[in-house]
Amino acid sequence: MKIFSNHSGKECYKKPSTYTDAVFYLITWFSLCRVLMINISEEMSTKDVEEIKFLFGNTLSREKVKKSKSFLDVIVELEKLDLVSPERVDIVGKCLLDIGRVDLVKKVNCYKMSAGPSAEPLAQRQSCQAAEIKQSQPAHIARVNMVVPVHKEAACGSPMERYNLNTNPRGVCVIIDCVGNGGEMLEQTFKALHFNVSLYLFLTSDLILLSLREILRPTENHIGDVFVCCIISRGSTHRLLGTDEYGGGFAIDCVRNLFTGDACPMLAGKPKLFFIQRYNVVESNLNYVAESVEVDGFNRQPASGSIPKEADIFWSHCWTEERQLLQRKHHSVYLKALTDALHDAQRRKLNLVDVQMRVNGAIFEHNRRNPGAAYSIDVKHTLRKNLYLD
């Protein structure tokens, strides 16, 4: 097997025609892959490595993550799981894209085009499914877990479509700030993103639900291509309290269930985004009666060719301890990271999942530095297309 140059002067590989050529081809291919990973590892900062370790926190054991001191260490562990190999480097390109190292993604794409027998550039191989992302505790190290999708939008190998956001304003953004901290920052951000923003302050749990239900009534509120709901409130694991001092508030899932495709037909097929900052109170102090609330349907499989009622939802729910509100000049790390990432995404044309990954990274870094004031986060989505809020 010989290396030859094409018209562009770029070195390419002639496909092997004999067994000996095939063996040499594979050895060369493995060597090239290893050189690529070493080069990428050398160009990574300590912060980059920490973000990569965070992304694979649910794929590798905690012990393996802790022992990994470099990007190459992480790759070696992924190779042991057969997740990375000379012909399987998509996961590498994806994680580099998630941490914003587009320069290194280009190196992976060049390798795939020159060394891979049938690989396509990462930019042309977006996910062909709507994925659900979950990120959960432990206390100071959050983890990401990719689980079963609910709906296929495009054939594998074809670029994932994007939602059309052509209206002005883009849509409705409802912000409910029950603690008086973060609402105005969100308001400014979504106004800059061309949303019709309504900010409500210091609502009880009953008034929160009433305000959300009112949104469903006037038809003009649904003029737009996307709906956003932001809530900042005290609460417990599964409930929000608003400004209530007594009682049990309402189930957090009620918020999402109000805007599913069947509950709100005007929003069917349109992206619905939920950003929740909860300040955790002791659940034993709450007094509530179990409600008849529809079970979370994120994992239901739709009928072939149909759009499930839970489709097109992006759910980002972050929580930390209530005592942080007592700190002088407190601000939510989650909300600050979210608004910063949204502004950056507008400038750099990043999609919403990339925005969330940046938020994840900011929370991870905060938790690493401040284990006594940690944030936890649960993120999942059923978006069928890419969403750009530019």
Tell me the whole-structure pTM to 2 decimals: 0.61
The CATH number of whichever domain residue 85 belongs to comes to 1.10.533.10
Residue 297 has pLDDT above 70, yes or no: no
How many of the other CB atoms lie within 10 Å of CB of 281? Answer: 17
Alpha-carbon distance 322 to 32, whole Å? 52
Distance of CA 322 to the CA centre of its chain: 25
Residue 345 or 16, more confident: 345
DSSP code for 142: -
Token pair belonging to 15: 């496909």
pLDDT at 264: 87
Alpha-carbon distance 294 to 315, whole Å? 16
- Over the Cα atoms of the chain, what is R_g? 23
Per residue in 241-283, pLDDT (tens digit) is 999 988 889 999 999 999 998 888 889 999 999 999 999 998 6
> Is residue 221 domain-shared with residue 176, that is, in the same domain?
yes
For residue 176, give the nearest of 243, 130, 111, 124 by alpha carbon. Answer: 243
DSSP code for 326: G
For tokens 């912060």, the residue is 47
Residue 16 has pLDDT above 50, yes or no: no
> Is residue 181 domain-shared with residue 49, that is, in the same domain?
no
Per residue in 23-50, pLDDT (tens digit) is 444 444 456 777 788 889 888 898 889 8
pLDDT at 38: 85
> Is residue 110 domain-shared with residue 172, that is, in the same domain?
no
Per residue in 104-156, pLDDT (tens digit) is 888 888 877 765 444 444 433 333 333 333 444 333 444 333 333 333 333 33
One-letter amino acid at 96 equals L
**Over residues 313-328, mean pLDDT:** 94
For tokens 């809020």, the residue is 389
Number of H helices, E strands in the chain: 11, 12
> Is residue 118 domain-shared with residue 134, that is, in the same domain?
no
Contact 217, 162 (CB under 8 A): no
Domain that holds residue 15: 3-124
The CATH number of whichever domain residue 149 belongs to comes to 3.40.50.1460
pLDDT at 300: 40
Contact 332, 280 (CB under 8 A): no
